[in-house]
Chains A and B, each alone.
Chain A
Amino acid sequence: MIVSTLAAACAAVLFSGPVAGPVIGGVATDDYINGVASDDQETKRSWTISADAIYTADGSVIENGFIRVQDGKIVAMGPGGPSGGDVIRVGAITPGLIDLSLRVAASWNTVEQGSEVTANMRMADAVDLFDEDWQRALRGGVTTALATPLDRNVIGGLGVALKTGGEPTIEARQVAADVVLRGCVGSLPSSGNRPAFQRPNSIFNRRPTTRMGVEWEARKAFYDAMVAAADESKSFPGAEQLQAAMAGELPFMVQAATTQDIRTTLFLKDEFGIPNLILDSAAEAWKEPQMVQRSGASVVLPPFTWDGRTDVDGAAMPWNTAAGLAELGVTFALSGHGSSEPDQRLSMQPLYAMRGGLDFDTALASVTRVPAEMIGISDRVGTLAIGKDADLCLWSGVPFEATSAVVGVMLEGDLVVDPRD
């Protein structure tokens, strides 16, 4: 059954094939459709994958359909389609998952600690593409992730959106650089810091040492940037990025887990008129959801846990949090925090959110389309449509059921996890 008109259009593309001519690029049409244009498995650039259901993540479902992939892009999709040959059959296809809070290599040396405010630092210059977390994320169906400088200073710098696999170079993997300005409030930016009573002898002899100090550093940074905007001589490295955040050109993504930290961040948003705020790891958004709703901020939720305690600042998050936010129309994404535990991965998060009452379509969007839109990369990833990147998550059965698993992953047309293995 075709649900979307888009799908119908795709079907037309496919079935016009034989009419247009039996030979495309010197290869018989049947072979072309069946994806045997290249006989070398290693360099195979075209695939046909069929599934009981294809969830495009823009609200439509193609039941019993296929997706055709060529040179890293989706070139055709629709109901029915070929079988046999080397057509791969799976239970379901969704877009590759997108994790805005992957925490890959999120350790001490991914954030500059020489200063509390390093808004001009670029994660794109420092990200470790050989970290095993990339492999794990990819195996778990995550094909695009945001890497940001966290969480030992207050404004860490600029995040980069990357594919989780492929050639291990920034150029090859980068979807978009400098897509968010990363900030962090709560206990972490001050943890480990201690006041210097005499001569400071380590980087930890510094302020802030409290949440108040963290908030002050953030406020001071934005104030200084405002001053710098009016008076060129008062400019400083990072002022430009802070100004871009205040102008809404750059989303300001702040880790704020507990209610008090969410409040702090929303006050900052109000005070400096930051139009595009993303509350990351906002576990306790459920406690004052209307406040979040009124602010217009969007939210990234941390992984759900079985005891309700999340991994940032011990913030509590009940499983109906996502459903509650959806009800109020708050834009939110789910995240997996790059857990090595398979049960905690991003692909499992919609299951928990749905157990808490979220509907399937919103759950799917919250790990695909919505995060892509939040950081402005939805022209390439996040939904399944002709011309988009061939990033596919292949499922054994109905996605997000406890009895279903991610069995295959395609990244830019490469079958990096083969469901036939």
Chain B
Amino acid sequence: MNHRTSRQAGIGSRLFTGIAFAAVATAPFAQADKLVIEAGRIIQNSGTEIENGVIVVEDGRIVAIGPAAEVEKPWDAPVVGGPELVAFPGFIEAHSNRGMDRPNENIDVAPFLDVRDSIDPINLYFEDCLRWGVTTINVQQGNDTVVAAKGRIVHPTGMTVEEMTVRPNYGLKLSAAPKRGNSRATQAQALRGAFGDLQRYLEDVVADARQGGDLARREALYQGRDMEGEKAKGRAMGGSTWKVDGLELIPRGAIDEQQEPLLELVEGRYDAFVWCGSPRDVHLAIDIATQNGFLDRTTLVLDSSCWKAADVIAAAGLDVILQGSQMDTETDPVTGEETETFVPGVFAEKGITFALSSENASSNSLWFQAARAVAHGLDRAAALDAVTTTPAAILGLGDQVGSLEVGKLADILLLSGDPLSSQSWVEHAFIEGNHVYDRSKDVRNKYIFEGQQPLGAGSASPQGVESVGVVEESNDDEDAEEK
């Protein structure tokens, strides 16, 4: 195999181990640095479609896309797809704590931690993502927190977190809803306190430096931090809403690494994802973000009931990620009558940009979330946007993923039909041009959907399989296809 770059070599070995451990097999052309994908229908985004189209991929990116007659196909590129398939951009999970060893940290304020150390690359969740066509995931710590660990955007393939990573050190989770054991007031105080502590820490550092002390520097050296170059320079630090006088005297590298992520948030250099578990949390979320200068980098992560705060959210101009059931059910405390509200519909009506997510929903599949939103009255384009281009934009990846365009990453699904049809399947998935999923080789999919036990799994003896007429049937079908 002729790998042109070391990155490609890395991906090659990733795929090989993928066969062995993750049971997601790949085709022989997986390592190709060029690829031609043909599809009877290419849905570039919710508004643009191509009949009988071709996508040319080179070095992990889309270099050409258009009708078959107009696109020149490189002679040396393998060709995949077919006229019966529909090409669609990979779905994007705007926010999830799935795939982590444990999603929550005991420490209230823990922005110095990193989800990198908790993401489990062979977690079944990532395999499910491929099965359902989710190709980009924003992994953030769970909601049971005050200020959580640094998040990370990943692809669901790779044997190490580094291989999976799309963007490291991305985003901080804050929770405006009470962490377990906290009252609402305690939570609010802890959240405000986190920023108060930061401010006091910075003031102490400045005061120490002014008195000729060298504590921060010595601590930094002791911790082995880089005190040279860019890191050593003083900067006018502090946010747009509050500043600490004299902070520019302090070399950047001298700032305690436990404090730095929160400082970066205040400086407007980090995105914030603020969890609101009920409508009354929204005010606190907006207040904290406003006071500390990161409102314009804030995305609210909302429980179903938060539709009631839609006006406040619209006034603050925030984007939202909808978590949980699309139907919010309220019970009248007197009559016991239940009322259902279609949550995405409320946000659509108020003109709020929203992404759908599968967190806490009944499945990991974003196509299903989008389809159910259409069922309840959202228009198709809005539903498709909410699982592709909108989450991409929220994550700052609008120019990289979310639609099929020249220059974007080749994160492409080949579906057996329309993306929102209940009869459609992800037949193939490509991430950065690598063939990472093939339904015909997905053993677990065959078990869950077709009742075929993998050989040697559990109590499924070959005798058990043979005695079952249904299974025999589907085996026969497949043999026929292969012939």
The residues in B between 418 and 474 inclusive whose CB is less than 8 angstroms from any CB of A are: 420-423, 447-452, 464, 467-470, 473-474
The residues in A between 17 and 31 inclusive whose CB is less than 8 angstroms from any CB of B are: none
With A343-B372, A405-B375 as known contacts, state yes or no: A307 contacts B362, CB within 8 Å: no
B374 within 8 A of A: yes
Name the CB-closest residue of B to A343. B362
A405 → chain B, closest Cβ, in Å? 4
B229 within 8 A of A: no
B90 → chain A, closest Cβ, in Å? 19
> Of B174-182, B259-267, B294-302, B363-371, which binds chain A?
B363-371
Q: Which residues of the other chain, A, contact B327 by a CB distance below 8 angstroms?
A: 342
B67 → chain A, closest Cβ, in Å? 27
**Cβ-defined contact, A286 with B451, below 8 A:** yes
Q: Which residues of the other chain, B, contact A308 by a CB distance below 8 angstroms?
A: 447-448
**Cβ-defined contact, A355 with B423, below 8 A:** yes
Q: Which residues of the other chain, A, contact B449 by a CB distance below 8 angstroms?
A: 318-320, 355-356
Selected from B362, B422, B448, B464, the residue in CB contact (under 8 A) with A287 is: B464
Which one of A136, A287, A290, A308 has the highest number of Cβ atoms from chain B below 10 Å of its Cβ? A287
Q: Which residues of the other chain, A, contact B48 by a CB distance below 8 angstroms?
A: none
A327 within 8 A of B: yes
B336 within 8 A of A: yes
Q: Which residues of the other chain, A, contact B380 by a CB distance below 8 angstroms?
A: 403
Kindly state the separation between the CA atoms of A130 and B337 in the bound complex, as whole angstroms: 10
The residues in A between 97 and 147 inclusive whose CB is less than 8 angstroms from any CB of B are: 130, 132, 135-136, 139
Annotate A314-341 by CB proximity to B: 1 below 8 A, 0 otherwise: 0000111101100110000000000011
With A132-B338, A288-B467, A344-B362 as known contacts, state yes or no: A403 contacts B448, CB within 8 Å: no
For the A-B complex, the count of residue pairs with Cβ-Cβ distances under 8 Å equals 105
A354 within 8 A of B: yes
Q: Which residues of the other chain, B, contact A130 by a CB distance below 8 angstroms?
A: 336
Name the CB-closest residue of B to A342. B327
**Cβ-defined contact, B374 with A403, below 8 A:** yes
Q: Which residues of the other chain, B, contact A340 by a CB distance below 8 angstroms?
A: 329
A16 → chain B, closest Cβ, in Å? 38
B306 → chain A, closest Cβ, in Å? 18
The residues in B between 147 and 204 inclusive whose CB is less than 8 angstroms from any CB of A are: none
With A288-B467, A320-B450, A321-B451 as known contacts, state yes or no: A402 contacts B421, CB within 8 Å: yes
Q: Which residues of the other chain, A, contact B377 by a CB distance below 8 angstroms?
A: 396
Kindly state the separation between the CA atoms of A340 and B362 in the bound complex, as whole angstroms: 12
Which one of A136, A286, A342 has the highest number of Cβ atoms from chain B below 10 Å of its Cβ? A342
A348 → chain B, closest Cβ, in Å? 9
A38 within 8 A of B: no
With A327-B470, A342-B325, A355-B423 as known contacts, state yes or no: A306 contacts B375, CB within 8 Å: no
Q: Which residues of the other chain, B, contact A307 by a CB distance below 8 angstroms?
A: 448
Name the CB-closest residue of A to B340. A139
**Cβ-defined contact, B361 with A343, below 8 A:** yes
B350 within 8 A of A: no
B142 → chain A, closest Cβ, in Å? 20
Which one of A306, A327, A401, A405 has the highest number of Cβ atoms from chain B below 10 Å of its Cβ? A306
Kindly state the separation between the CA atoms of A299 and B365 in the bound complex, as whole angstroms: 29
With A287-B468, A351-B422 as known contacts, state yes or no: A403 contacts B338, CB within 8 Å: no
A289 within 8 A of B: yes
Report the interface size class on chain B: 35 or more
**Cβ-defined contact, A319 with B469, below 8 A:** no
A400 within 8 A of B: yes
B331 within 8 A of A: yes
B283 within 8 A of A: no
B376 within 8 A of A: yes
**Cβ-defined contact, A402 with B340, below 8 A:** no
With A135-B338, A405-B376 as known contacts, state yes or no: A286 contacts B420, CB within 8 Å: no
**Cβ-defined contact, B470 with A324, below 8 A:** yes
Q: Which residues of the other chain, A, contact B340 by a CB distance below 8 angstroms?
A: 139, 342
**Cβ-defined contact, B422 with A355, below 8 A:** yes
Q: Which residues of the other chain, B, contact A351 by a CB distance below 8 angstroms?
A: 422
Kindly state the separation between the CA atoms of A404 and B373 in the bound complex, as whole angstroms: 9
Annotate B324-364 by CB proximity to A: 1 below 8 A, 0 otherwise: 01110101000011101000000000000000000001111
B68 → chain A, closest Cβ, in Å? 29
Name the CB-closest residue of B to A321. B451
Q: Which residues of the other chain, B, contact A286 by a CB distance below 8 angstroms?
A: 451, 468, 470
A79 → chain B, closest Cβ, in Å? 26
Q: Which residues of the other chain, B, contact A401 by a CB distance below 8 angstroms?
A: 371, 375, 421-422
Q: Which residues of the other chain, B, contact A356 by a CB distance below 8 angstroms?
A: 449-450
B93 → chain A, closest Cβ, in Å? 15
Q: Which residues of the other chain, A, contact B473 by a CB distance below 8 angstroms?
A: 324, 327
Kindly state the separation between the CA atoms of A76 and B338 in the bound complex, as whole angstroms: 33
**Cβ-defined contact, A396 with B451, below 8 A:** no
With A355-B423, A401-B422, A405-B375 as known contacts, state yes or no: A136 contacts B450, CB within 8 Å: no
Q: Which residues of the other chain, B, contact A403 by a CB distance below 8 angstroms?
A: 371-372, 374-375, 380, 420-421
Q: Which residues of the other chain, B, contact A328 by a CB distance below 8 angstroms?
A: 469-470
The residues in B between 22 and 72 inclusive whose CB is less than 8 angstroms from any CB of A are: none
B247 → chain A, closest Cβ, in Å? 51
**Cβ-defined contact, B362 with A354, below 8 A:** no
Q: Which residues of the other chain, B, contact A400 by a CB distance below 8 angstroms?
A: 422
Name the CB-closest residue of B to A402. B371
Which one of B374, B448, B464 has the highest number of Cβ atoms from chain A below 10 Å of its Cβ? B448
Name the CB-closest residue of B to A130. B336
Q: Which residues of the other chain, A, contact B361 by a CB distance below 8 angstroms?
A: 343
Name the CB-closest residue of A to B362. A343
**Cβ-defined contact, A404 with B375, below 8 A:** yes
Kindly state the separation between the CA atoms of A343 and B377 in the bound complex, as whole angstroms: 15
With A286-B468, A288-B468 as known contacts, state yes or no: A402 contacts B448, CB within 8 Å: no
Given A351-B422, A405-B372, 4 further pairs, Cβ under 8 A: A343-B363, A402-B421, A403-B380, A405-B375
Give the top 9 A-B pairs by smallest Cβ distance, nearest first. A324-B470, A402-B371, A318-B451, A405-B375, A402-B422, A308-B448, A306-B363, A403-B374, A343-B362
A-B contact pairs, 9 of them (CB 8 A): A319-B449, A319-B450, A320-B450, A321-B451, A343-B361, A344-B362, A356-B449, A397-B375, A401-B421
